[in-house]
Structure 1
Amino acid sequence: MAKSAAEYQRAYRERKAEQAKLAGDPSDQIADRRFFEYVPDDGNYQEVLNYLEWAGISRKAVPCFDTDDDPEHDPENDGPYRGSIGRAERMVGMLLDAATELAAIINRYKRKEISDQIQEIEASDLSDPDARKQALADIVRLQKMLDQLEKRVRWSLPQWKVTGE
Protein backbone atom coordinates (compact mmCIF):
# COMPACT_ATOMS: atom_id res chain seq x y z
CA MET A 1 0.00 0.00 0.00
CA ALA A 2 1.39 3.42 -0.94
CA LYS A 3 2.15 6.00 1.71
CA SER A 4 0.12 9.16 1.87
CA ALA A 5 1.74 12.57 1.61
CA ALA A 6 1.23 13.05 5.35
CA GLU A 7 3.03 9.75 6.09
CA TYR A 8 5.98 10.74 3.88
CA GLN A 9 6.13 14.13 5.62
CA ARG A 10 5.97 12.51 9.08
CA ALA A 11 8.77 10.10 8.18
CA TYR A 12 10.83 13.00 6.80
CA ARG A 13 10.38 14.99 10.02
CA GLU A 14 11.35 11.97 12.12
CA ARG A 15 14.52 11.46 10.03
CA LYS A 16 15.42 15.15 10.36
CA ALA A 17 14.83 15.08 14.13
CA GLU A 18 17.02 11.98 14.49
CA GLN A 19 19.78 13.59 12.40
CA ALA A 20 19.62 16.76 14.50
CA LYS A 21 19.80 14.69 17.68
CA LEU A 22 22.84 12.80 16.43
CA ALA A 23 24.52 16.01 15.31
CA GLY A 24 24.21 17.54 18.77
CA ASP A 25 24.08 21.21 19.62
CA PRO A 26 25.87 23.36 17.01
CA SER A 27 26.93 25.85 19.68
CA ASP A 28 29.22 23.15 21.14
CA GLN A 29 31.47 23.48 18.09
CA ILE A 30 32.09 27.20 18.57
CA ALA A 31 32.53 27.33 22.35
CA ASP A 32 36.01 28.32 23.54
CA ARG A 33 35.46 27.11 27.09
CA ARG A 34 33.57 24.19 28.51
CA PHE A 35 30.47 24.96 30.57
CA PHE A 36 32.03 23.87 33.88
CA GLU A 37 34.82 26.41 33.32
CA TYR A 38 32.31 29.20 32.70
CA VAL A 39 30.00 28.60 35.69
CA PRO A 40 32.37 29.97 38.39
CA ASP A 41 32.73 33.22 36.41
CA ASP A 42 28.95 33.68 36.21
CA GLY A 43 27.89 34.78 39.68
CA ASN A 44 24.26 33.88 39.08
CA TYR A 45 24.78 30.16 39.70
CA GLN A 46 24.83 31.11 43.38
CA GLU A 47 21.27 32.42 42.85
CA VAL A 48 20.21 29.03 41.47
CA LEU A 49 21.58 27.37 44.59
CA ASN A 50 19.83 29.94 46.82
CA TYR A 51 16.43 29.37 45.16
CA LEU A 52 16.75 25.61 45.46
CA GLU A 53 17.84 25.91 49.08
CA TRP A 54 14.84 28.16 49.84
CA ALA A 55 12.68 25.44 48.28
CA GLY A 56 14.16 22.97 50.76
CA ILE A 57 16.64 21.33 48.39
CA SER A 58 20.03 21.01 50.05
CA ARG A 59 23.01 22.42 48.20
CA LYS A 60 24.63 19.01 48.64
CA ALA A 61 21.82 17.50 46.55
CA VAL A 62 22.46 19.87 43.63
CA PRO A 63 25.16 18.75 41.20
CA CYS A 64 28.08 21.12 41.08
CA PHE A 65 29.82 21.92 37.85
CA ASP A 66 33.44 21.57 38.89
CA THR A 67 34.29 18.99 36.21
CA ASP A 68 33.15 18.32 32.67
CA ASP A 69 31.59 14.97 33.49
CA ASP A 70 28.05 13.79 32.88
CA PRO A 71 27.65 10.44 34.61
CA GLU A 72 23.92 10.14 33.79
CA HIS A 73 24.43 10.59 30.04
CA ASP A 74 22.39 8.10 28.03
CA PRO A 75 23.52 7.89 24.38
CA GLU A 76 20.19 6.32 23.41
CA ASN A 77 18.16 9.35 24.54
CA ASP A 78 20.62 12.20 24.95
CA GLY A 79 22.54 12.10 21.66
CA PRO A 80 26.29 12.69 21.61
CA TYR A 81 28.19 13.13 24.86
CA ARG A 82 28.42 16.84 25.68
CA GLY A 83 29.81 16.91 29.21
CA SER A 84 28.71 19.47 31.77
CA ILE A 85 26.59 21.53 29.35
CA GLY A 86 24.55 18.45 28.43
CA ARG A 87 24.00 17.71 32.11
CA ALA A 88 22.97 21.33 32.78
CA GLU A 89 20.48 21.30 29.88
CA ARG A 90 18.94 18.06 31.11
CA MET A 91 18.69 19.55 34.61
CA VAL A 92 16.67 22.46 33.22
CA GLY A 93 14.29 20.04 31.51
CA MET A 94 13.91 17.90 34.61
CA LEU A 95 13.36 20.90 36.88
CA LEU A 96 10.68 22.17 34.51
CA ASP A 97 9.07 18.71 34.49
CA ALA A 98 9.16 18.62 38.30
CA ALA A 99 7.65 22.12 38.55
CA THR A 100 4.93 21.16 36.06
CA GLU A 101 4.02 18.03 38.00
CA LEU A 102 4.01 19.85 41.34
CA ALA A 103 1.80 22.60 39.87
CA ALA A 104 -0.61 19.93 38.59
CA ILE A 105 -0.78 18.28 42.02
CA ILE A 106 -1.46 21.62 43.70
CA ASN A 107 -4.12 22.40 41.07
CA ARG A 108 -5.91 19.07 41.59
CA TYR A 109 -5.80 19.53 45.37
CA LYS A 110 -7.30 23.02 45.26
CA ARG A 111 -9.96 22.03 42.72
CA LYS A 112 -11.01 19.09 44.86
CA GLU A 113 -11.17 21.16 48.04
CA ILE A 114 -13.19 23.90 46.31
CA SER A 115 -15.56 21.36 44.72
CA ASP A 116 -16.03 19.65 48.10
CA GLN A 117 -16.86 23.03 49.63
CA ILE A 118 -19.45 23.71 46.89
CA GLN A 119 -21.05 20.30 47.49
CA GLU A 120 -21.13 20.96 51.22
CA ILE A 121 -22.90 24.29 50.66
CA GLU A 122 -25.39 22.70 48.24
CA ALA A 123 -26.16 19.94 50.76
CA SER A 124 -26.70 22.36 53.65
CA ASP A 125 -30.06 23.66 54.85
CA LEU A 126 -30.90 26.67 52.66
CA SER A 127 -34.41 27.33 53.96
CA ASP A 128 -33.42 30.64 55.57
CA PRO A 129 -33.36 33.42 52.93
CA ASP A 130 -30.24 35.06 54.40
CA ALA A 131 -28.41 31.70 54.50
CA ARG A 132 -29.49 30.99 50.91
CA LYS A 133 -28.27 34.40 49.77
CA GLN A 134 -24.88 33.88 51.49
CA ALA A 135 -24.61 30.34 50.10
CA LEU A 136 -25.22 31.56 46.54
CA ALA A 137 -22.60 34.30 46.98
CA ASP A 138 -20.14 31.71 48.32
CA ILE A 139 -20.83 29.34 45.43
CA VAL A 140 -20.25 32.15 42.91
CA ARG A 141 -16.95 33.04 44.62
CA LEU A 142 -15.85 29.39 44.72
CA GLN A 143 -16.86 28.87 41.08
CA LYS A 144 -14.68 31.85 40.09
CA MET A 145 -11.79 30.14 41.87
CA LEU A 146 -12.44 26.95 39.90
CA ASP A 147 -12.59 28.95 36.67
CA GLN A 148 -9.25 30.54 37.48
CA LEU A 149 -7.72 27.12 38.18
CA GLU A 150 -8.88 25.92 34.74
CA LYS A 151 -6.56 28.43 33.05
CA ARG A 152 -3.00 27.72 31.99
CA VAL A 153 -0.09 29.99 32.85
CA ARG A 154 2.94 30.64 30.73
CA TRP A 155 6.41 31.46 31.97
CA SER A 156 8.91 33.13 29.72
CA LEU A 157 12.34 31.49 29.84
CA PRO A 158 15.53 32.23 27.95
CA GLN A 159 16.20 29.66 25.22
CA TRP A 160 18.81 27.19 26.44
CA LYS A 161 19.02 24.73 23.55
CA VAL A 162 20.21 25.30 20.04
CA THR A 163 19.11 22.96 17.26
CA GLY A 164 20.12 23.03 13.62
CA GLU A 165 21.92 25.90 12.03
Structure 2
Amino acid sequence: MKDATYPFLKTPFYKHLEKDGNWSSVELCFGLLGIEPPVFEDDRGPEEFADSACFATDEDLIEAFQSSEKSIGRAEVMVGVLLDAAMELANIINTYKSEELKKCREELERSDLSEPERRREALETSAQLARLQDELDKNVRRTFKTWTVKLL
Protein backbone atom coordinates (compact mmCIF):
# COMPACT_ATOMS: atom_id res chain seq x y z
CA MET A 1 0.00 0.00 0.00
CA LYS A 2 1.44 3.35 -1.05
CA ASP A 3 1.77 6.23 1.39
CA ALA A 4 -1.51 8.14 1.58
CA THR A 5 0.28 11.48 1.30
CA TYR A 6 1.82 10.77 -2.12
CA PRO A 7 -1.01 12.30 -4.21
CA PHE A 8 -0.58 15.58 -2.33
CA LEU A 9 3.21 15.90 -2.53
CA LYS A 10 3.86 18.38 -5.34
CA THR A 11 7.50 19.33 -4.71
CA PRO A 12 9.86 16.37 -5.16
CA PHE A 13 11.58 15.45 -1.90
CA TYR A 14 15.07 15.88 -3.34
CA LYS A 15 14.14 19.48 -4.21
CA HIS A 16 12.86 20.04 -0.69
CA LEU A 17 16.21 18.88 0.72
CA GLU A 18 18.00 21.60 -1.25
CA LYS A 19 16.43 24.21 1.02
CA ASP A 20 16.01 22.22 4.26
CA GLY A 21 18.74 23.29 6.67
CA ASN A 22 18.21 20.21 8.83
CA TRP A 23 19.73 17.94 6.19
CA SER A 24 23.20 18.92 7.40
CA SER A 25 22.35 17.26 10.74
CA VAL A 26 21.67 14.01 8.90
CA GLU A 27 24.95 14.36 7.03
CA LEU A 28 26.76 14.99 10.31
CA CYS A 29 25.35 11.80 11.84
CA PHE A 30 26.60 9.74 8.93
CA GLY A 31 29.93 11.53 9.05
CA LEU A 32 30.35 10.70 12.73
CA LEU A 33 30.00 7.05 11.76
CA GLY A 34 32.51 7.37 8.95
CA ILE A 35 29.77 6.58 6.44
CA GLU A 36 29.25 8.60 3.30
CA PRO A 37 25.81 10.25 3.65
CA PRO A 38 23.20 9.54 1.00
CA VAL A 39 22.86 12.03 -1.83
CA PHE A 40 19.48 13.03 -3.19
CA GLU A 41 20.23 14.62 -6.55
CA ASP A 42 17.17 13.41 -8.43
CA ASP A 43 13.79 11.80 -7.86
CA ARG A 44 14.81 8.15 -8.23
CA GLY A 45 13.24 5.73 -5.78
CA PRO A 46 14.80 3.16 -3.47
CA GLU A 47 14.84 0.35 -6.05
CA GLU A 48 17.44 2.31 -8.03
CA PHE A 49 19.90 2.26 -5.13
CA ALA A 50 19.31 -1.13 -3.49
CA ASP A 51 22.05 -3.73 -3.81
CA SER A 52 20.69 -6.42 -6.13
CA ALA A 53 22.64 -9.02 -4.13
CA CYS A 54 20.03 -8.56 -1.38
CA PHE A 55 17.35 -10.03 -3.63
CA ALA A 56 16.99 -13.45 -5.25
CA THR A 57 15.29 -12.01 -8.33
CA ASP A 58 14.51 -8.67 -9.95
CA GLU A 59 10.87 -9.31 -9.10
CA ASP A 60 11.78 -9.55 -5.41
CA LEU A 61 13.51 -6.18 -5.63
CA ILE A 62 10.50 -4.59 -7.31
CA GLU A 63 8.12 -6.15 -4.79
CA ALA A 64 10.20 -4.94 -1.83
CA PHE A 65 9.79 -1.32 -2.87
CA GLN A 66 6.40 -1.36 -4.59
CA SER A 67 4.86 0.93 -1.98
CA SER A 68 7.72 3.45 -2.02
CA GLU A 69 7.85 6.05 -4.76
CA LYS A 70 10.57 8.40 -5.90
CA SER A 71 13.03 10.22 -3.64
CA ILE A 72 10.51 10.51 -0.80
CA GLY A 73 10.04 6.73 -0.88
CA ARG A 74 13.79 6.28 -0.82
CA ALA A 75 14.02 8.49 2.27
CA GLU A 76 11.16 6.59 3.95
CA VAL A 77 12.84 3.26 3.24
CA MET A 78 16.11 4.65 4.65
CA VAL A 79 14.44 5.53 7.94
CA GLY A 80 12.99 2.04 8.28
CA VAL A 81 16.20 0.27 7.32
CA LEU A 82 18.34 2.47 9.58
CA LEU A 83 15.98 1.73 12.48
CA ASP A 84 16.19 -2.00 11.73
CA ALA A 85 19.99 -1.80 11.64
CA ALA A 86 20.11 0.19 14.89
CA MET A 87 17.81 -2.31 16.61
CA GLU A 88 19.88 -5.27 15.42
CA LEU A 89 23.15 -3.63 16.48
CA ALA A 90 21.66 -2.77 19.88
CA ASN A 91 20.66 -6.44 20.33
CA ILE A 92 24.16 -7.60 19.38
CA ILE A 93 25.76 -5.17 21.84
CA ASN A 94 23.30 -6.18 24.56
CA THR A 95 24.00 -9.89 24.03
CA TYR A 96 27.75 -9.27 24.11
CA LYS A 97 27.57 -7.33 27.37
CA SER A 98 25.20 -9.85 29.00
CA GLU A 99 27.49 -12.73 28.06
CA GLU A 100 30.53 -10.91 29.45
CA LEU A 101 28.72 -10.14 32.72
CA LYS A 102 27.69 -13.80 32.97
CA LYS A 103 31.34 -14.84 32.60
CA CYS A 104 32.27 -12.47 35.43
CA ARG A 105 29.55 -13.94 37.68
CA GLU A 106 30.72 -17.48 36.90
CA GLU A 107 34.31 -16.49 37.65
CA LEU A 108 33.20 -15.07 41.00
CA GLU A 109 31.36 -18.30 41.82
CA ARG A 110 34.51 -20.34 41.13
CA SER A 111 36.80 -18.07 43.12
CA ASP A 112 38.11 -18.79 46.61
CA LEU A 113 35.92 -16.84 49.01
CA SER A 114 37.34 -18.24 52.23
CA GLU A 115 38.82 -14.88 53.26
CA PRO A 116 36.25 -12.40 54.65
CA GLU A 117 37.65 -9.46 52.64
CA ARG A 118 37.50 -11.41 49.39
CA ARG A 119 33.95 -12.54 50.19
CA ARG A 120 32.89 -8.93 50.87
CA GLU A 121 34.44 -7.75 47.58
CA ALA A 122 32.80 -10.63 45.71
CA LEU A 123 29.40 -9.76 47.17
CA GLU A 124 29.83 -6.12 46.15
CA THR A 125 30.91 -7.13 42.66
CA SER A 126 28.04 -9.59 42.42
CA ALA A 127 25.54 -6.89 43.41
CA GLN A 128 27.06 -4.52 40.86
CA LEU A 129 26.86 -7.18 38.14
CA ALA A 130 23.21 -7.80 39.02
CA ARG A 131 22.42 -4.06 38.75
CA LEU A 132 24.19 -3.87 35.41
CA GLN A 133 22.27 -6.89 34.11
CA ASP A 134 19.00 -5.37 35.34
CA GLU A 135 19.78 -2.28 33.25
CA LEU A 136 20.61 -4.41 30.22
CA ASP A 137 17.29 -6.23 30.60
CA LYS A 138 15.38 -2.97 30.13
CA ASN A 139 14.07 -1.61 26.86
CA VAL A 140 14.61 1.94 25.68
CA ARG A 141 12.23 3.99 23.62
CA ARG A 142 12.83 6.92 21.32
CA THR A 143 9.94 8.72 19.75
CA PHE A 144 9.82 9.96 16.17
CA LYS A 145 7.44 11.95 14.09
CA THR A 146 5.50 9.67 11.74
CA TRP A 147 7.19 9.51 8.34
CA THR A 148 4.76 7.21 6.51
CA VAL A 149 0.98 7.26 6.41
CA LYS A 150 -0.84 4.10 5.39
CA LEU A 151 -4.60 4.47 5.53
CA LEU A 152 -7.07 1.74 4.62
Question: Normalising by the residue count of structure 2, what TM-score does the alignment of the two structures yield?
Answer: 0.86
* Code of the aligned partner of 1:103: A
**Higher Cα Rg: structure 1 or 2?**
1
Aligned position for 2:108: 121
Confirm or deny that 1:46 pairs with 2:35: no
1:137 aligns with one of 113, 124, 134: 124
Q: 1:159 to 1:80 in 2, by over 3 A?
A: closer
How many residue pairs end up in the alignment? 140
Render the CA deviation track for 1:45-88: whole Å, top value 9, x for unaligned.
1110101111121x2xx321110012047431222451101111
1:4-153 aligned at under 5 Å gives the runs 21=1, 24-57=2-35, 59=36, 62-70=37-45, 71-72=48-49, 74-80=61-67, 82-153=69-140
* Code of the aligned partner of 1:95: L
Q: Is the 1:27–1:162 Cα contact (8 Å) retained in structure 2?
A: yes
Render the CA deviation track for 1:20-54: whole Å, top value 9, x for unaligned.
x1xx1121111120111101110111110101111
Question: Normalising by the residue count of structure 1, what TM-score does the alignment of the two structures yield?
Answer: 0.80
Q: Is the 2:68–2:74 Cα contact (8 Å) retained in structure 1?
A: no
Report the Cα distance in structure 1 between the residues aligned to 2:6 and 2:18, rounded to whole angstroms.
19
Q: Is the 2:113–2:119 Cα contact (8 Å) retained in structure 1?
A: yes
Q: 1:31 to 1:133 in 2, by over 3 A?
A: same
* Code of the aligned partner of 1:63: P
Report the Cα distance in structure 2 between the residues aligned to 1:66 and 1:33, rounded to whole angstroms.
14
Report the Cα distance in structure 2 between the residues aligned to 1:81 and 1:100, rounded to whole angstroms.
22
Shift of 1:101: 0.9
Q: Which runs of 4+ in 1 moved over 6 A?
A: none
Q: Is the 1:75–1:81 Cα contact (8 Å) retained in structure 2?
A: no
Q: 1:133 to 1:67 in 2, by over 3 A?
A: same
Backbone CA RMSD of aligned residues: 1.5
Q: Percent identity?
A: 38
Shift of 1:130: 1.3
Unaligned runs of 5+ in 1: 1-20
* Code of the aligned partner of 2:44: D
